[in-house]
Amino acid sequence: MSNGSTFPPHRRLRGTLLIVLAAVVAAGLGGWLAWRSPGGDGGGPPRAGQPGPTESAAKGADGKDSGKGKRDGEPGGKGSGASPGDGSGGDSGGDSGKGDPHGSLKGKVVVIDPGHNPNNRDHGQEIARPVDIGNERKECDTTGTSTNGGYAEASFTLDVARRARTLLQEQGAKVVFTQDGDRPYGPCVDERAAIGNKAHADAALSIHADGSGAGNRGFHVILPARVTSGPADTSTIVAPSRRLGERLAGRFIAATGSAPSNYIGGGTGLDVRSDLGGLNLSKVPKVFIECGNMRDPKDAAQLTDAQWRQKAARGITEGITDFLTG
């Protein structure tokens, strides 16, 4: 034969068919083994748009981020659980002031005045010294109030102030404190106002909690009245301070869920006063906020809760931000 084969034509055809069949079987077996390999899910390779194994591990069964891997204190984390009165501001409450872009307060100066001082109680004679607030003379400072359980207003104000400072600094603001628990007492109310004036603050806020009777609940913001007497002249700050107070009240309600005071302000959450040296002597827009009533058990439960204090700090931060950027 011309091809040199010794097999008849029909046997050569059968041999060729057997070789082709063997190749088909081998290819099919290889594909099945790859389909069943440990890296697969039993349904073949992921289709376009499906998450691969790494992405799937980071999501829950419903495809939403599970939040795992966040450290305590980060947004979405549990926080450190700062105990009432430690002033650490350590518990983020799972909330870090979302909604305002970083840098929105760049170039702005905010003065925060944490009401009273934890050490005032040891300096009764010094804080009783009268100072001129323009239309009268009042004591340098007071000890502030406390809850029935002994959580001091001065500890509360420092904690909330420190939390607000962190959030404001994240927005790019320069934050100045009147005191940070680093003074033996005070400062006196006239010096508290002077600190804001010297800093040429774009906004100033004094943080407090009230000491009214049980059943009196809610927060209120204190606005400066028009006072022109002696060293006091609030004529240029009354209007901008009201705008600051209104924005602060609105944001505080939204952040904390608290209602405006049911005993001051006629349900508006705003109160105008002419007897506070920190307002009378201010030359920059300034308000006070009484975050709740420490003598009411329901309000006290909020004020002593670290997560609620973080919400209060966020409401304060957003109110100041609205005022400064609006």
Which residues belong to the active site? 290
Contact between 111 and 178 (Cβ < 8 Å)? yes
Among candidate residues 208, 110, 75, the one with its CA nearest the CA of residue 154:
208
Q: Which amino acid is at 171?
A: Q
Residues with Cβ within 8 Å of 49's Cβ and at least 6 positions away in sequence, in order, are none
Residues with Cβ within 8 Å of 200's Cβ and at least 6 positions away in sequence, in order, are 109, 284
Edge to edge, what strands does the sheet with 286-293 contain? 174-177, 109-114, 203-210, 286-293, 220-224, 270-273
| Beta strands 109-114; 228-229: pairing state | unpaired
Supply the DSSP symbol for 139.
E
Distance CA 280, CA 277 (A): 5
Contact between 89 and 102 (Cβ < 8 Å)? no
Using the structure block, give the residue that is written with the tokens 């973080």.
310
